[in-house]
Structure 1
Amino acid sequence: MWAPDQRGYNLSDKLRGIRPYTIPVLAADVIGLLDAAGRAQAHLISHDWGAIVS
Structure 2
Amino acid sequence: MVSKLIKHLAENPQLVSLLQDNKLSLVGVSKWEQQAIVEAMNEPMKARVAFWRG
What TM-score results when the alignment is normalised by the length of structure 1? 0.30
Larger Rg: 1
* Greater per-residue helix proportion: 2
